Structure 1
């Protein structure tokens, strides 16, 4: 179980960290996604910061388990919000979302299982 916990946590942190960087450096993809979902572009850095906090929180969970669990739960909520944003505008382009959401759920599950919360 420990190997799954470490693997999923690191994978989730890397994926969300890369996404956070694209949001924070002003890459065109997050801007296009914000436009498609009719989310103000001023939210893009905020969303990137939330992703970065989730990624760092997952890693911090190795030292403070509760923090990792809370970060995983926060990422799950973040991606539920992303799904609602997709559905609100009728977007069915959910492949990327499903990868990130699945990783966040997996991170939450392994954190809960590893620490028996």
Structure 2
């Protein structure tokens, strides 16, 4: 695995992990938009768990590539769902936020192949 792939994977893992912690701690800048988008509060913990699992999977993928590829695919799908949720809520100005988190996950997936 190249140095670039390792760095991009670690950046993606850090960003997804940070996002998960932000949900778990109830960071205002994360949970207020979730409420505005109509995401039920009962889902918030599970969304954080999905991001945390993806972050851990990316790190594990440095040692077991199949796990990293699965984690990157999962995160890419997760953030695609986030974009769809933002669009459905008609919060078009917020579209860049899930895209910013998706970009390193997709790059890690691309570099992982």
Q: Retained in 1: the 8 A contact 2:61–2:69?
A: yes
**Unpaired stretches in structure 1, ≥5 consecutive residues:** 113-117
**Unpaired stretches in structure 2, ≥5 consecutive residues:** none
In structure 1, the partner of 2:13 is: 13
Q: How does 1:1-80 map to 2 (within 5 A)?
A: 2-80=2-80
* SS class of match (2:23): helix
**In 2, Cα distance between the equivalents of 1:61 and 1:6?**
10
In structure 1, the partner of 2:86 is: 86
Residue 42 of structure 1, CA deviation = 1.3
Residue 21 of structure 1, CA deviation = 0.5
Q: Retained in 2: the 8 A contact 1:30–1:44?
A: no
Q: TM-score, normalised by structure 2?
A: 0.93
- Cα distance change on mapping 1:59 and 1:50 into 2, 3 Å: same
Residue 27 of structure 1, CA deviation = 2.0
**In 2, Cα distance between the equivalents of 1:18 and 1:67?**
20
Q: Retained in 1: the 8 A contact 2:37–2:89?
A: yes
Q: Retained in 2: the 8 A contact 1:54–1:75?
A: yes
Q: Aligned Cα RMSD in Å?
A: 1.1
Q: TM-score, normalised by structure 1?
A: 0.90
